[in-house]
Amino acid sequence: MSSAQVKEGFNKAIIPIMAIFALGASQGGVNAGLATMGAAFPEAGPNIGYVISMVALGMIPSGIISGAVTGRFIKYRTSIIAAIVLYIVSGCWPFFMGSGESFGMLLVSRFVFGFAVGWSYPLAQALTFKTFDNENKRASILGAGMAFFNLGSLIMELAGGYLALVSWQACFLVYLIGIIPLVIVIFMLKEPERDSEQAAELAAETGGEVKTKIPPIAFLYMLMLTLIVAFAMPTILYCSFVLPDSAISGWVLSAMTLVGAVTGFTLGPVYKKLKKWTLPVAGLFLGVLYVVCALNAQPGSFNLVVYIATFLVGHWGFAIVIPATGNMITNLVPIGAATRAMGFNTAFHQAGCFLATPVATLVMGLLGAQAVTDLLLPCSIVIVVLGVLQFVLAGFTDMSKYDDGYGKVELHHDA
């Protein structure tokens, strides 16, 4: 896809990208059926939670593999269409499982499903990188992607809740929603240029060299994402242990998803003002608000209003950190490594999601804690420390060192 085509086809390009983003938040689509799944598989016990976290585990290797092969050995359209088909098939697979199937088989289906999600999600980020060379606009598009990510999550959680009333198997039919993005991608997604082709064109126009390596500093930003997600997720996962009843928990979690959706649209203007400082500001904001949230979650000092307010407002930081990390990677990595970099970014993000439960268990063990509320404050303090470290990392990041000219040549500038 040439720069001229990108400029003319802005509206058409954005629709399939947002459709792919909306499929990224698919873990929670079957949350409502966990209780009945636990009854159907009594041997699973507390491991029933792996029905959710196994998706993140599947996304880790597939993100890396997808980034490595798409655009080099497989066309983008072919890669994305195949991933969405696998998403639909593997997502609905448990619906056809009989009562004699093992819990292990259910987890296998979830891993395969995660593999499909992890294959397509980084390609939405890569297409954003490749299509929009203006860094402010790219931040806006990645932020909008987070908004659609959360909206997709909200729709699937609501639909999955109603389907779970029929049976635990029926809630997996929520993944038939993948048919909509599949149709959009088939009819609207144009095949983009390969990373190597864009890099060669850019080098010819700027008189520079073809750059295809991911700089080491990009992996430091990805690692920070892993750690922040791993230590922030316990506050999100265990909010139902703090709130008085499941009805309030449901409303608060729905409100959190809406906050995440609205937050996505703020990344563009925030990045335009703060640039490389966006990440540390969001990380520190998240940590400080979650500390206040944790202090008000303790049995002896519980304050419902303050807890909910700080939980929801603090989520702005969480919902900014994820797309802002992807945006930072696009500013550090040459266009010749766009797809590979986004594959790694997805893997590091999902590693944080998967590690959240082991991190919570480790913290509780180290503290000798008896209740999950005891781990919220130490986890939040760690986020504050990570936010400070992000300020240090940003301070040492000289953005001019990583400028390969992408977006600086008039031909490549999208207005």
**Cα 127 to Cα 186: distance, rounded to the nearest angstrom:** 15
- Contact criterion met (CB below 8 Å) for 315 and 260: yes
**Cα 164 to Cα 383: distance, rounded to the nearest angstrom:** 35
What's residue 236's pLDDT? 86
Residue 409 has pLDDT above 70, yes or no: no
Give the orientation angle of helix 50-69 with respect to helix 76-92, to 10 degrees.
160
Structure tokens at 5: 């085509």
Q: 6 and 142 share a domain?
A: yes
- Contact criterion met (CB below 8 Å) for 227 and 385: no
Quick check: is 415 in a domain?
no
Residue 291 sits in which domain range? 204-404
Residue 7 has pLDDT above 50, yes or no: no
What's residue 102's pLDDT? 85
Least confident of 8-12, 120-124, 372-376: 8-12
H or E element: which one contains 25? none
**Cα 127 to Cα 193: distance, rounded to the nearest angstrom:** 10
Q: 247 and 372 share a domain?
A: yes
Quick check: is 284 in a domain?
yes
70: phi then psi, degrees, rounded to nearest 5: -70, 130
Q: 290 and 321 share a domain?
A: yes
What's residue 243's pLDDT? 83
Residue 273 has pLDDT above 50, yes or no: yes
**Cα 276 to Cα 399: distance, rounded to the nearest angstrom:** 8
- List all residues 6 or more positions away from 73 whose beta carbon is below 8 Å from its beta carbon: none
**Cα 47 to Cα 43: distance, rounded to the nearest angstrom:** 9
Q: 140 and 217 share a domain?
A: no
Residue 147 has pLDDT above 50, yes or no: yes
- Contact criterion met (CB below 8 Å) for 215 and 330: no
Range with the largest mean pLDDT of 168-172, 248-252, 319-323: 319-323
Average pLDDT, the chain: 88
Residue 414 has pLDDT above 50, yes or no: no
Quick check: is 413 in a domain?
no
Q: 127 and 14 share a domain?
A: yes
Q: 111 and 249 share a domain?
A: no
What's residue 2's pLDDT? 41
What's residue 5's pLDDT? 39
Quick check: is 411 in a domain?
no
Mean pLDDT of all residues in 212-227: 96
Binned at pLDDT 50, 70 and 90, residue 254 comes out as: confident
What's residue 9's pLDDT? 43
Residues of the chain with pLDDT > 90: what percent?
60
**Cα 81 to Cα 315: distance, rounded to the nearest angstrom:** 32
- Counted domains in the chain: 2
Query: Which of 135, 160, 193 finishes a domain?
Result: 193
Query: Which of 146, 167, 193 finishes a domain?
Result: 193
What's residue 69's pLDDT? 96
CB atoms within 10 A of CB 2: 13
Residue 407 has pLDDT above 80, yes or no: no
Residue 22 has pLDDT above 70, yes or no: yes
Q: 184 and 219 share a domain?
A: no
CATH number, position 324: 1.20.1250.20
CB atoms within 10 A of CB 166: 11
Q: 136 and 35 share a domain?
A: yes
Least confident of 215-219, 267-271, 273-277, 367-371: 367-371
Mean pLDDT of all residues in 141-165: 89
Quick check: is 145 in a domain?
yes
Q: 179 and 208 share a domain?
A: no
Query: Which of 193, 218, 248 finishes a domain?
Result: 193
Quick check: is 409 in a domain?
no
Q: 346 and 240 share a domain?
A: yes
Using one digit for the tens of pLDDT, what is the confidence trace for 230-245?
999 988 878 877 888 7
Quick check: is 327 in a domain?
yes
Residue 11 has pLDDT above 60, yes or no: no
Residue 247 has pLDDT above 80, yes or no: no
**Cα 96 to Cα 169: distance, rounded to the nearest angstrom:** 7
Binned at pLDDT 50, 70 and 90, residue 411 comes out as: very low
**Cα 267 to Cα 307: distance, rounded to the nearest angstrom:** 25
Q: 88 and 182 share a domain?
A: yes
pTM for this predicted structure: 0.90
CB atoms within 10 A of CB 102: 12
DSSP code of residue 134: S
Look at residue 252 and give its three-state secondary structure: helix
Q: 86 and 124 share a domain?
A: yes
**Cα 272 to Cα 401: distance, rounded to the nearest angstrom:** 20
H or E element: which one contains 316? helix 304-332
Using one digit for the tens of pLDDT, what is the confidence trace for 58-96?
999 999 999 999 999 999 999 999 999 999 999 999 999
Binned at pLDDT 50, 70 and 90, residue 10 comes out as: very low
